[in-house]
Amino acid sequence: VLLGMFGIIIPFQYWLVWTAWYGLFTIFIPVYCFLLMPAITALHGDTERFLERVSAQQWAVMISVYCVSHVPALLTLEVPGFEGRNLLLIAFLIITVQGSDVLQYIYGKLFGRHLMSPKVSPSKTWEGLVGGLATSSLLGALLSFLTPFSPLQAAAVAFIACLMGFLGGLVASAIKRDQGVKDWGHLIEGHGGMMDRADSLVFAAPIFFHTVRYFWT
């Protein structure tokens, strides 16, 4: 059932992105799909662990389709004076968020003393978070020339995106602990799969997209 749903949801969601149908793009999955998925599952008549299975399906679609689709959706934004350069918004998002991940790890290793949530992620510390967010915000300001933002605005946007990225990584760690796995895959030796590298972008992309759309379009 889930594979069949993905086969319909993925192309339709990205068609909505491609056509810049913002009104439906933003609600298709969290409204229509989230209502239809449990209904379709119920029609199959299997009630064992119903809520658990439906929740897992919805969360899978939210993470791997809905949130991720906000990255290419950045290409559809019409920012005055920034026409034809939207790809740079994606570059800004990836560089700052992924950079924040690395910086949080480095600061945590060098200065980490206070664990944030050891049962969820034993490597995440408050010192790493603060240092990573501060430095990635500065990085955002330095990269403001890639964006329609002023240096101060770029720092603020980077801070918000990187904070959401941190929360995305924390949630992903909690899910992996719940499932009893260390990584989502083995694409990159020693670093897990693609989703392990992109879990921070999953949370950051929608917030970044809507922030840019609301304030700059």
Residues in the chain: 217
Confidence of residue 11 (pLDDT cuts 50, 70, 90): very high
Calculate mean pLDDT across residues 12-31: 96
Q: Is the pLDDT of residue 192 over 70?
A: no
Q: Do 106 and 59 reside in the same domain of the chain? A: no
Number of domains in the chain: 2
% of the chain residues with pLDDT over 90: 71
pLDDT at 186 (0 to 100): 53
Assess if residue 74 is contained within a domain.
no
Domain assignment of residue 158, given as a range? 85-217
Assess if residue 53 is contained within a domain.
yes
Q: Is the pLDDT of residue 9 over 70?
A: yes
Domain end call among 67, 95, 116: 67
Please give the structure tokens belonging to residue 163: 């904070």
Q: Do 101 and 186 reside in the same domain of the chain? A: yes
Q: Do 159 and 131 reside in the same domain of the chain? A: yes
Helix, strand and coil in the chain, % to nearest 5:
75, 5, 20
pLDDT at 191 (0 to 100): 47
Q: Do 204 and 122 reside in the same domain of the chain? A: yes
| 113/73 Cα distance (integer angstroms) | 39
Q: Is the pLDDT of residue 188 over 90?
A: no
Assess if residue 75 is contained within a domain.
no
For residue 36, give every residue at least 6 positions away whose Cβ sits within 8 Å of its Cβ, in sequence order, or none.
none
pLDDT at 42 (0 to 100): 92
* pLDDT, tens digit, 9 for 90 and up, residues 28-70: 999 999 999 999 889 988 899 999 999 999 998 999 899 999 9
User: Looking at this protein, which amino acid is placed at residue 155?
Assistant: A
Burial of 133 (0-12, 13-18, 19+ CB in 10 A): buried
Q: Do 177 and 108 reside in the same domain of the chain? A: yes
Region label for 41, one of left (φ > 0), alpha (ψ between -120 and 50) or beta (otherwise)? alpha
pLDDT at 101 (0 to 100): 92
Assess if residue 13 is contained within a domain.
yes
Closest by CA position to 16, among listed 66, 79, 80, 83? 66
% of the chain residues with pLDDT over 70: 91
Q: Do 211 and 110 reside in the same domain of the chain? A: yes
pTM of the predicted protein model: 0.90
Q: Do 103 and 24 reside in the same domain of the chain? A: no
pLDDT at 190 (0 to 100): 46
Q: Which helix (H) or strand (E) holds 15?
A: helix 2-18
Mean pLDDT in the chain? 90
14, 71 contact by CB (below 8 A): no
* pLDDT, tens digit, 9 for 90 and up, residues 119-161: 888 888 999 999 999 999 999 999 999 999 999 999 999 999 9
